[in-house]
Amino acid sequence: MTQDNTAHHIISYGKLVTVWLALLALTGLTVWVAHHNVGIGHVWGSLAIACLKSGLVVAFFMHMKYEGRLLRWLLFIALVTLAIFIGFTFFDVLYR
Amino acid sequence: MNHVAHKDYAGAKLGMWLFLFTELLLFGGLFLLYSAYLSRYPHEFAAAGRDMHVGFGTLNTVILITSSLLAAMAVTAIQRNERRNVLFFLGGTLLCAITFLFNKYLEWSAEIGNGIYPGSPRLIKGPPGESVFYSLYYLTVGLHGLHVLIGGTLLAVVAVRVKRGTVHAGDFVLLENGALYWHLVDLVWIFIFPLYYLIL
């Protein structure tokens, strides 16, 4: 028997295609930004667009928007851990 | 004794996510190396980055995003019990995976043909920052390519099981976890693309 202990949320094809179109538009934007805006600003701009794109993929394609609190907290902890690694490394690299 | 197959759906998905977090930290470490060396060799990185093939990078980004869409649609299709659509979408994902790897082959062939590969005479003669850039590039993109290969194989196995009917609307965690792995491959590329192809 299949024991169903999670609510399955079905995401419609239309919603997935909308997310795909948004991802394509953001890809176009990031290529445009890279070619039209030289300087340190475009590094942060490109990274911000990449974060936005991965947010869309995680929320909709990976169903995180519809998951329970446990998975959301674990994702949050994993990202904070990564941020601490990066933060502490740069604390060393930039001020040595 | 009556053996009832015990299925812990939430546990199976939780396990997959925990594995994906370790993958996140693995690639995160490589991105960390990239940024630490970028701050040490900004000019060499910029010079090497300008030689990257932006066309290949952009094309492969579009291919991976599309494959991710098809994998997500396959999950929706199996939840709606539309088996033909599941196979159609998974086939599309696999086609995208093969196209991606073929593009990668063309791109790497062009670079290796120009004498750019770890330990090549051209890179040994050049500035140290340039060879660091290309070593990190081959390591990160190579590891990502390996993930594309593994993810494609995994989804092909899932597709066979969907065809046989062992993965169906009542029990599709294998398809869902396969799709999650595939989305991770897409996520990693979303960061590789700007870091290696665009910002330098």
Mean pLDDT, residues B117-126 taken together? 89
Q: Answer yes or no: do B62 and A58 touch at CB < 8 A.
A: no
Averaged over A11-36, what is the pLDDT?
Answer: 93
Q: How confident is the model at residue B6 (pLDDT cuts 50, 70, 90)?
A: confident
Cβ atoms A49, A29 nearer than 8 A: yes
- pLDDT exceeds cutoff 80 at B52: yes
DSSP state of A37: -
CB-based contact B186 A31, cutoff 8 Å: no
- The pLDDT value recorded for residue B16 is 97
Taking alpha carbons only, the member of B102, B22, B96, B92 closest to residue B56 is: B102
Nearest CA in chain B to A92: B36
The model's pLDDT over A59-84, given as tens digits with 9 standing for 90+, comes to 999 999 999 999 999 999 999 999 99
- Residues of chain B in contact with residue A43, where contact means CB-CB under 8 angstroms, are 199
Q: Give the DSSP letter of residue A57.
A: I
Kindly report which listed range (A54-63, B101-110, B111-120, B173-182) carries the lowest average pLDDT score.
B111-120
pTM score of the predicted model? 0.92
Residue to test with chain B: of A26, A27, A37, A61, most B Cβ within 10 A:
A61
Q: Do A2 and B171 touch (CB under 8 A)?
A: yes
Q: Over 80: is that where the pLDDT of B198 sits?
A: yes
- Bridge partners of residue B121, in order along the sequence: none
Above 70 in pLDDT, residue B50? Answer: yes
A5 to chain B nearest CA, in Å?
7
How large is the average pLDDT for residues A38-50? 80
* Best residue in B69, B81, B186 for a mutation probing chain A (most A CBs within 10 Å): B69
Q: Reduce the secondary structure of B11-23 to three states and give it as a string.
A: HHHHHHHHHHHHH
Q: Which of A36-40, B146-150, B177-181, B185-189 has the lowest mean pLDDT?
A: A36-40
pLDDT of residue A43: 82
Q: What is the secondary structure of B143-172 as a DSSP string?
A: HHHHHHHHHHHHHHHHHHHHHHTSSBTTB-
Facing A57 at nearest CB: one of B8, B170, B187: B187
Report pLDDT for B25.
94
Average pLDDT over residues A33-50: 79
